[in-house]
Amino acid sequence: MAADEAEKARGKRAALAFAAVALVLGLPLWWKTTETYRASLPYAGISALGSLRFQLTVPVSVVFAKGALPGAQQRRLPFADTQEKESLLNPKTSITSRYETTYRSATVTEQAALATAAVQEADAALLLLQEDSLGALTVYVIPEISPLLPQGVGVYVGKHRSAVMRCPQGPGDVLAAVSARVQQIVQAMSFTTDSITAALSDRVPMDQLGTDTRRPFKSSLGYEITFSLLNPDPKSHDVHWDIEAAVSGYVQPFLDKLGLVANFSVDSQILYYAVLGVSPRFDKASSSFILSALSLPHVINPVEARLGSSATSLYPVLNFLLYVPERVHSPLYIQDKDGAAVGTNAFHSPRWGGIMVYNVDHPAPDKALLPLRVDVDMVRVMEVFLAQLRLLFGISQVPLPEEFLLESPGNKGLTDWELDRLLWTRTVENIATVSTTLTSLAQLLDKIGNIVIKDDVASEVYHAVASAQTAMLELASGHLGSAFQASKEAVISSERAFFDPSLLHLLYFPDDQKFAIYIPLFLPMAVPILLSLVKILREAKQSKKEPTKTD
Strand 162-166 vs strand 155-157: parallel, antiparallel, or unpaired? antiparallel
CB of 304 to other proteins, least distance (A): 12
Using rule CB under 8 A, residue 391 touches other proteins: yes
Strand partners, 281: 290
Among the listed residues 134, 322, 360, 382, the single contact to other proteins using CB under 8 A: 382
CB of 160 to other proteins, least distance (A): 17
CB of 485 to other proteins, least distance (A): 25
Q: At what angle do helices 416-447 and 174-189 cross, to 10 degrees?
A: 60
Closest to 202 (Cα-Cα) out of 121, 126, 90, 301? 90
Distance, CA of 430 to CA of 200 (rounded, Å):
9
Closer residue to other proteins (CB): 181 or 390: 390
Site string for other proteins, 350-379 (x = CB under 8 A): xx-------------------x---x--xx
What phi, psi does 224 have (nearest 5°)? -110, 125
Among the listed residues 174, 185, 384, 445, the single contact to other proteins using CB under 8 A: 384
Long-range contacts of 393-402 (CB under 8 A, 24+ apart): 393/216, 393/217, 393/258, 393/422, 394/198, 394/215, 394/216, 394/217, 394/422, 394/425, 395/421, 395/422, 396/212, 398/188, 398/192, 400/188, 401/154, 401/184
Cα–Cα distances (Å) from 228 to 252, 255, 324, 376, 407, in that order, read 17, 18, 11, 13, 32
Strand 93-105 vs strand 79-90: parallel, antiparallel, or unpaired? antiparallel
Q: What is the 3-class SS of 330-343, one letter each residue?
A: CCEEEECCCCCECC
Among the listed residues 84, 410, 456, 542, the single contact to other proteins using CB under 8 A: 410
Which one of 118-126, 178-186, 314-322, 336-344 is the stretch in contact with other proteins (CB under 8 A)? 336-344
Which one of 76-84, 196-204, 279-287, 410-418 is the stretch in contact with other proteins (CB under 8 A)? 410-418
Interacting residues with other proteins between 280 and 319 (CB under 8 A): 293, 296-297, 306, 308, 310-312
Distance, CA of 525 to CA of 521 (rounded, Å):
8
Site string for other proteins, 95-134 (x = CB under 8 A): ----------------------------------------
Residues with Cβ within 8 Å of residue 202, at least 6 apart in sequence: 432, 433, 436
Closer residue to other proteins (CB): 157 or 483: 157
Closest to 194 (Cα-Cα) out of 208, 174, 175? 208
Residues with Cβ within 8 Å of residue 55, at least 6 apart in sequence: 96, 98, 472, 475, 476
Among the listed residues 59, 216, 394, 413, the single contact to other proteins using CB under 8 A: 413
Using rule CB under 8 A, residue 234 touches other proteins: yes
Closer residue to other proteins (CB): 42 or 249: 249
Using rule CB under 8 A, residue 87 touches other proteins: no
Using rule CB under 8 A, residue 32 touches other proteins: no
Q: Are 225 and 268 in contact (CB under 8 A)?
A: no
CB of 24 to other proteins, least distance (A): 17
CB of 133 to other proteins, least distance (A): 27
Strand partners, 141: 64, 165
What phi, psi does 310 have (nearest 5°)? -75, 125
Using rule CB under 8 A, residue 37 touches other proteins: no
Distance, CA of 210 to CA of 195 (rounded, Å):
11
CB of 229 to other proteins, least distance (A): 9
Interacting residues with other proteins between 495 and 534 (CB under 8 A): 516-517, 520-521, 523-525, 528-529, 532
CB of 62 to other proteins, least distance (A): 29
Closer residue to other proteins (CB): 375 or 546: 375
Count of residues of this chain found to bind other proteins when the rule CB under 8 A is applied: 82
Which one of 91-99, 105-113, 404-412, 420-428 is the stretch in contact with other proteins (CB under 8 A)? 404-412
Interacting residues with other proteins between 173 and 232 (CB under 8 A): 211-212, 214-215, 226
Centre a 10 Å sphere on the Cβ of residue 34 and count the other Cβ atoms it contains.
Answer: 9
Using rule CB under 8 A, residue 11 touches other proteins: yes
Using rule CB under 8 A, residue 235 touches other proteins: yes
Closer residue to other proteins (CB): 176 or 531: 531
Among the listed residues 15, 127, 260, 452, the single contact to other proteins using CB under 8 A: 15
- Ranges of beta strands (E only) in 306-380 are 317-323, 332-335, 346-349, 353-357, 372-375
Among the listed residues 35, 207, 244, 551, the single contact to other proteins using CB under 8 A: 244
Cα–Cα distances (Å) from 156 to 103, 118, 167, 408, in that order, read 19, 11, 12, 11
